[in-house]
């Protein structure tokens, strides 16, 4: 952990002596000054007389609920960060803690890595200045752009990688399924770089045919082809001194791949129909929702270009593999679209949030965003319940139904039943395989086949 002594004092509040003393001992082993309180009232009295950078606060205490203590700390001591700790986790309590301004939410018994990650987050906030609860939800790009939302281990690791690679000129390859936020990551790399005062230019390689794309990238001289009635500057020229982002780069033809490789290697190019070399100073960031290594093996993508692009690879996990971020994302989108259509921000019932977290989100964050927007437009309610969710999401949560009004294929029926058994066994694959009457290896193959992660 980087320089833990940047935290001057930590208050540990828990009515269980074994937990309270255990946490304080770990903190002291890390060179941190730890003070303990066995209840809410003792903690509030200590806060009146001393300054604490961080409070590790139990939710369930006999003299006062931890949520109420959190409210008082955020109101009276805004520079003091709070990490909530509980042995009785619920989705509703996690959402409420973040909404009330908690920096993080730890579930007892937690791993030392989880505690260290929470301390690192506190250190970062202290270093850059106290931020709002909204900003603590993820990585801020700039004042105009939305946050990249996430506090899961995978997203925290990605944020750290962005901060490290951004000040360099290294090429970055961002991979991940559609809707995971690859362009937002590219914008964050630009925003945290030394090129942030210059242009961020993005091109979707799947949206233009090869002839048009070549002209868009490199520009052309007058008369170089039919319709070239005047000389045109290309996007590379516009991006000079800035960052150039290739979205879905696997769609580039081999011809343009060869020219792009030259731009990366030589930092120069020629307009279509011209022999004059133009020097350019740009940083290249690329993204793909395909496995580029397999595209290389198929001969559709140049191996040398792949290695030039993937100097620093960043992989964005699908939303189904970071479900702990769904409450944060949901809250963010509720606030965003409520502001947009000028209505109060509704709450989400624990039952509805559970359904949102169970759904596999094949469209990832983009699908969640569109779903929340649709709910706010169509449902006039202050509390979003399961009945307010789109049918295709809410029906996934119900018990397995062998038959429905619309017949389905045997393959679809098998997929539904395996999903049902996995839910009933809480994801325990050995138990699920026993119920299904197949071995674990066969179950793993079917899980992969049907995308039941």
Cβ 386 vs Cβ 352: under 8 Å: yes
Given pLDDT bands bounded at 50, 70 and 90, which one contains residue 3? very low
Return d(Cα 366, Cα 180) in angstroms, integer: 7
**311 and 383 housed in the same domain:** no
Which of residues 377 and 421 earns the better pLDDT score?
Answer: 377
Burial of 77 (0-12, 13-18, 19+ CB in 10 A): middle
Q: Is residue 172 part of a domain?
A: yes
Residue at a domain's end among 101, 133, 165: 133
**119 and 162 housed in the same domain:** no
**253 and 266 housed in the same domain:** yes
The pLDDT tens digits of the residues spanning 227-250 come to 555 667 778 888 899 999 999 999
Q: What distances in angstroms separate CA 271 from CA 113, 240, 429, one per listed residue?
A: 52, 15, 57
pLDDT of 144 strictly over 60: no
The pLDDT tens digits of the residues spanning 437-449 come to 888 888 988 888 8
Domain count, the chain: 4
Q: Which residues pair with 81 in a beta bridge?
A: 54
Q: Is residue 54 part of a domain?
A: yes
Given pLDDT bands bounded at 50, 70 and 90, which one contains residue 335? confident
Domain containing 239 — which CATH number? 3.40.50.300
Given pLDDT bands bounded at 50, 70 and 90, which one contains residue 405? very low
**188 and 268 housed in the same domain:** yes
Residue at a domain's end among 103, 133, 163: 133
Q: What is the pLDDT of residue 363?
A: 92
Given pLDDT bands bounded at 50, 70 and 90, which one contains residue 6? low
Q: Is residue 282 part of a domain?
A: yes
Residue at a domain's end among 280, 315, 350: 315
Q: What is the pLDDT of residue 395?
A: 65
Average pLDDT over residues 124-130: 58
Return d(Cα 423, Cα 427) in angstroms, integer: 6
The pLDDT tens digits of the residues spanning 69-91 come to 998 888 788 788 899 888 776 66
For helices 182-191 and 153-165, what crossing angle results, to 10°?
Answer: 40
The pLDDT tens digits of the residues spanning 28-70 come to 888 888 899 988 899 999 988 888 889 999 988 888 888 889 9
**116 and 173 housed in the same domain:** no
Q: What is the pLDDT of residue 2?
A: 42
Return d(Cα 445, Cα 389) in angstroms, integer: 31
Percent of the chain with pLDDT over 90: 28
**187 and 241 housed in the same domain:** yes
Cβ 179 vs Cβ 363: under 8 Å: yes
**120 and 38 housed in the same domain:** yes
Average pLDDT over residues 185-197: 92
Q: Is residue 147 part of a domain?
A: no
Q: Is residue 446 part of a domain?
A: yes
Mean pLDDT of the chain: 83
pLDDT of 396 strictly over 60: no
Q: Is residue 209 part of a domain?
A: yes
Name every residue whose Cβ is closer than 8 Å to that of residue 3 and which is 6 or more positions away in sequence: 123
Return d(Cα 180, Cα 298) in angstroms, integer: 25
DSSP single-letter state for residue 62:
S
Residue-number span of the structural domain to which 223 is assigned: 153-315
pLDDT of 4 strictly over 70: no
**162 and 293 housed in the same domain:** yes
**271 and 196 housed in the same domain:** yes
Domain containing 441 — which CATH number? 1.10.10
pLDDT of 411 strictly over 60: yes
pLDDT of 298 strictly over 70: yes
Cβ 224 vs Cβ 276: under 8 Å: no
Q: What is the pLDDT of residue 77?
A: 84
**353 and 222 housed in the same domain:** no
Cβ 162 vs Cβ 316: under 8 Å: no
**186 and 227 housed in the same domain:** yes
Q: Is residue 93 part of a domain?
A: yes
- Say what the pTM is: 0.60
Average pLDDT over residues 192-200: 90
Given pLDDT bands bounded at 50, 70 and 90, which one contains residue 453? low
Ranges assigned E (strand) in 68-199: 81-86, 104-107, 138-139, 148-149, 172-175
**Nearest by Cα to 183 from 226, 223, 146:** 146
**244 and 392 housed in the same domain:** no
Which of residues 91 and 304 earns the better pLDDT score?
Answer: 304
Q: 9: which 2 tokens?
A: 């004092």
Domain containing 386 — which CATH number? 1.10.8.60
Q: Is residue 84 part of a domain?
A: yes
Q: What is the pLDDT of residue 174?
A: 97
Q: What is the pLDDT of residue 50?
A: 85
Domain containing 32 — which CATH number? 3.40.50.2300
Which of residues 265 and 400 earns the better pLDDT score?
Answer: 265
Name every residue whose Cβ is closer than 8 Å to that of residue 129 and which is 6 or more positions away in sequence: none
């Amino acid at each position: 952990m980087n320089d833990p002594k940047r935290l001057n004092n930590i208050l540990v509040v828990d009515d269980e002596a074994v937990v309270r003393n255990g946490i304080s001992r770990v903190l002291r082993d890390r060179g941190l000054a730890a003070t303990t309180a066995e209840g809410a009232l003792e903690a509030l009295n200590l806060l009146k007389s001393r300054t604490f950078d961080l409070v590790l606060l139990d939710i369930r205490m006999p003299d006062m609920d931890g949520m109420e203590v959190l409210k008082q700390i955020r109101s009276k001591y805004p520079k003091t960060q709070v990490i909530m700790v509980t042995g009785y986790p619920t989705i509703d309590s996690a959402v409420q803690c973040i909404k009330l301004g908690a920096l993080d939410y730890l579930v007892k018994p937690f791993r030392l890595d989880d505690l260290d990650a929470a301390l690192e987050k506190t250190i970062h906030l202290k270093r850059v200045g106290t931020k709002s609860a909204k900003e603590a939800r993820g990585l801020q790009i700039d004042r105009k752009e939305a946050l990249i939302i996430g506090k899961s281990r995978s997203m925290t690791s990605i944020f750290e990688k962005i901060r490290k690679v951004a000040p360099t000129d290294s090429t970055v390859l961002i991979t991940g399924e559609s809707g995971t936020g690859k362009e937002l990551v590219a914008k964050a790399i630009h925003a945290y770089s030394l090129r942030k005062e210059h242009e961020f230019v993005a091109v979707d390689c799947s949206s233009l045919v090869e002839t048009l794309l070549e002209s868009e990238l490199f520009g052309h001289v007058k008369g170089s082809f039919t319709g070239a009635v005047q000389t045109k500057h290309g996007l590379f020229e516009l991006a000079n001194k800035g960052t150039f982002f290739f979205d879905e780069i696997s769609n580039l033809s081999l011809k343009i791949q060869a020219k792009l490789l030259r731009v990366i290697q030589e930092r120069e190019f020629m307009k279509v129909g011209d022999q004059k070399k133009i020097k350019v100073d740009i940083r290249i960031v690329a993204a793909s929702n395909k496995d580029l290594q397999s595209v290389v093996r198929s001969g559709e993508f140049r191996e040398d270009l792949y290695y030039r692009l993937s100097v620093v690879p960043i992989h964005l996990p699908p939303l189904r593999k970071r479900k702990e971020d769904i409450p944060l994302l949901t809250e963010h989108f509720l606030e965003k679209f409520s502001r947009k259509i000028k209505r109060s921000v509704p709450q989400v019932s624990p039952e509805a949030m559970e359904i949102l977290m169970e759904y596999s989100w094949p469209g990832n964050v983009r699908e969640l965003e569109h779903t929340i927007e649709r709910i706010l437009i169509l449902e006039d309610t202050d509390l979003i319940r399961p009945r307010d969710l789109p049918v295709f999401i809410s029906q996934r949560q119900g018990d397995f139904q062998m038959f429905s009004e619309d017949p389905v294929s045997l393959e679809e029926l098998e997929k539904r039943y395996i999903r049902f058994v996995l839910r009933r066994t809480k994801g325990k694959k050995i138990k699920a395989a026993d119920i299904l009457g197949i071995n674990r290896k066969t179950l793993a193959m079917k899980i992969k086949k049907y995308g039941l992660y």
